């Protein structure tokens, strides 16, 4: 735990970054770990508490990425830690594939109650988001006896072969790994910019009138996989009709609608699942990330009649680990007791204040989000995406003790722990504004001051 006797304001940067201990550890790490990891900045974490991270040199950071939207209840929430310790003292592992134990079915029961849709559901527990997508992919094909899957450009669904076949976020994630699982077709995501205006041809119309007439018959499509809010694609919030039209299209053709709630789910947007904002009930929901406050766990929750695969058709060794399940049950309790409400409250505050930042700095554009899943674009003077500017802002904020991440082409994402306070938000906004100024982003309307020399 962080030393509560240290009366430092968060953030508090005491050394150059990285500090001496961090530099030594990074040198050791780089000798032995895979070069495929994308380390954003040289942060070597020692411990965390709430929305605060402490590095190995004693620097304190305000965390606005929560381990990529994973630490939903904050770092090391005492109730989650207590639940983990209690379960760990009794049982660490007894594979749910082969045996029964209480936390496994207790979590499954809870998930069937809190996921969207007033119908019977069944649950399969996994270790990660990628595994959840793989399970949903297999279940959709098994149940429908159809081969093809529709996914979206900009989507990120994971990195194992089935999930990677659905992913279409960045070329670097796919380069060199083909051929991919056949039968996956990508289409454009909703038009999300420009005030969520409805384009001349909607996504569902593109699928219905072009894809189904020229490339694949609808009765050969098993499922449509969609992120209710695109994550890696740029924290893109679709227009109100998007998910409702997809639901209607799926219903017309007997296609399953699979909601990938891995980043957007578990209270992050102020609702248990982001798709609830549009009143749509998916056939299958994929979960992970924030479900267990940092322990490896995922799930798919499906209509009961869909989960008709027999014993042995799909299983795993560690999915639904007893300790991870205990953490998830306590996490859900905390979400229901007030953290989802806090996500809405702090998210509304951030959206309002970021809107002011957008009006002040022309380099900030398209503020968007729901709850504590918020993004904004960095743009050049001509309005084009400015990925270099976005990267500079992330690095500048890191040096001042604010942890941010990028997404999309030139977007900054804010996904802090759901325990974040208004004071935390005000601090983050102040740091971002300060960094924008230092990067040369002058407030809109500020005239350049010229100093003229008097003639002698």
pLDDT at 194: 61
Backbone angles phi, psi at 253, to 5 degrees: -115, 10
pLDDT at 440: 83
CB 9 within 8 A of CB 426: no
Q: Where in the chain is the domain with CATH 3.90.1150.10?
A: 20-76+338-438
pLDDT digits (tens, 9 = 90+) for 6-47: 444 899 999 999 999 999 999 999 999 999 999 999 999 999
Q: Is the pLDDT of residue 455 over 70?
A: no
Structural domain 79-334, CATH architecture: 3-Layer(aba) Sandwich (3.40)
Q: What is the pTM of this model?
A: 0.93
pLDDT digits (tens, 9 = 90+) for 142-156: 999 999 999 999 999
Q: Is the pLDDT of residue 193 over 80?
A: no
CATH class of 20-76+338-438: alpha beta
Q: Which among 36, 29, 31, 61 is positioned nearest to 46, based on CA atoms?
A: 61
Tokens of 137: 């992919």
Task: Using a pLDDT cut of 90, give the percent of the chain over it.
Answer: 91
Q: Where in the chain is the domain with CATH 3.40.640.10?
A: 79-334
Backbone angles phi, psi at 73, to 5 degrees: -95, 15
Which of the four pLDDT bands, split at 50, 70 and 90, describes residue 444?
low
pLDDT at 9: 80
Alpha-helix residue ranges (DSSP H) falling in 33-76: 66-69
3-state secondary structure of 260: strand
* DSSP string covering 356-415: HHHHH-TTEEEEEEETTEEEEEEB-TTS-B-HHHHHHHHHHHHHTTEE-EEETTTEEEE-
Q: Is the pLDDT of residue 70 over 90?
A: yes
pLDDT at 198: 60
pLDDT at 337: 98
């Amino acid at each position: 735990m962080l030393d509560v006797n240290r009366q430092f304001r968060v953030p508090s940067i005491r050394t150059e970054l990285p500090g001496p201990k961090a530099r030594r550890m990074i040198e050791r790490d780089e000798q032995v770990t895979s070069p495929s990891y994308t380390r954003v900045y040289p942060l070597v974490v020692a411990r965390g508490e709430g929305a605060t991270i402490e590095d190995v040199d004693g620097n304190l950071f305000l965390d606005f990425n929560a381990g990529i939207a994973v630490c939903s209840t904050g770092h090391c929430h005492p109730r989650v830690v207590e639940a983990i310790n209690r379960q760990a003292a009794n049982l660490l592992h007894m594979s749910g594939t082969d045996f029964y134990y209480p936390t496994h079915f207790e979590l499954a029961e809870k998930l069937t109650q809190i996921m969207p849709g007033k119908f019977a559901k069944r649950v399969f527990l996994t270790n990660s988001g990628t595994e959840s997508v793989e399970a949903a992919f297999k279940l959709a094909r098994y149940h429908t006896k159809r081969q093809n899957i529709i996914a979206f450009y900009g989507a990120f669904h994971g990195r194992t072969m089935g999930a990677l076949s659905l992913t279409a976020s960045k070329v670097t994630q796919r380069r060199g790994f083909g051929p991919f699982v056949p039968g996956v077709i990508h289409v454009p995501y909703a038009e999300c910019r420009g005030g969520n205006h409805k384009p001349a041809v909607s996504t569902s119309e593109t699928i219905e009138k072009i894809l189904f007439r020229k490339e694949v018959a609808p009765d050969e499509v098993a499922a449509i996989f969609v992120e209710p809010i695109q994550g890696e694609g740029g924290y893109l919030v679709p227009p109100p009709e998007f998910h409702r039209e997809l639901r209607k299209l799926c219903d017309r053709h007997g296609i399953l609608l699979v909601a990938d709630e891995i980043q957007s789910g578990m209270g992050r947007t102020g609702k248990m699942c982001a798709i609830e904002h549009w009143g749509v009930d998916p056939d299958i929901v994929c979960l992970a990330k924030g479900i267990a406050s940092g322990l490896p766990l995922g799930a798919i929750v499906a209509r009961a009649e869909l989960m008709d695969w027999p014993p042995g058709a799909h299983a795993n060794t560690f999915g639904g680990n007893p300790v991870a399940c205990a953490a998830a049950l306590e996490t859900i309790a905390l979400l229901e007791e007030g953290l989802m409400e806090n996500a809405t409250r702090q998210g509304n505050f951030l959206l309002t204040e970021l809107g002011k930042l957008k009006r002040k700095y022309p380099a900030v554009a398209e503020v968007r989000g729901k709850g504590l899943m918020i993004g904004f674009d960095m743009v050049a003077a001509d309005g084009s995406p400015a990925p270099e500017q976005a990267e500079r802002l992330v690095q500048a904020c890191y040096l001042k003790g604010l942890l941010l991440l990028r997404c999309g082409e030139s977007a900054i994402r804010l996904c802090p722990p759901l325990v974040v306070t208004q004071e935390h938000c005000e601090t983050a906004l102040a740091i971002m504004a300060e960094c924008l100024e230092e990067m040369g982003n002058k407030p809109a309307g500020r005239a350049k001051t010229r100093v003229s020399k008097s003639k002698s």
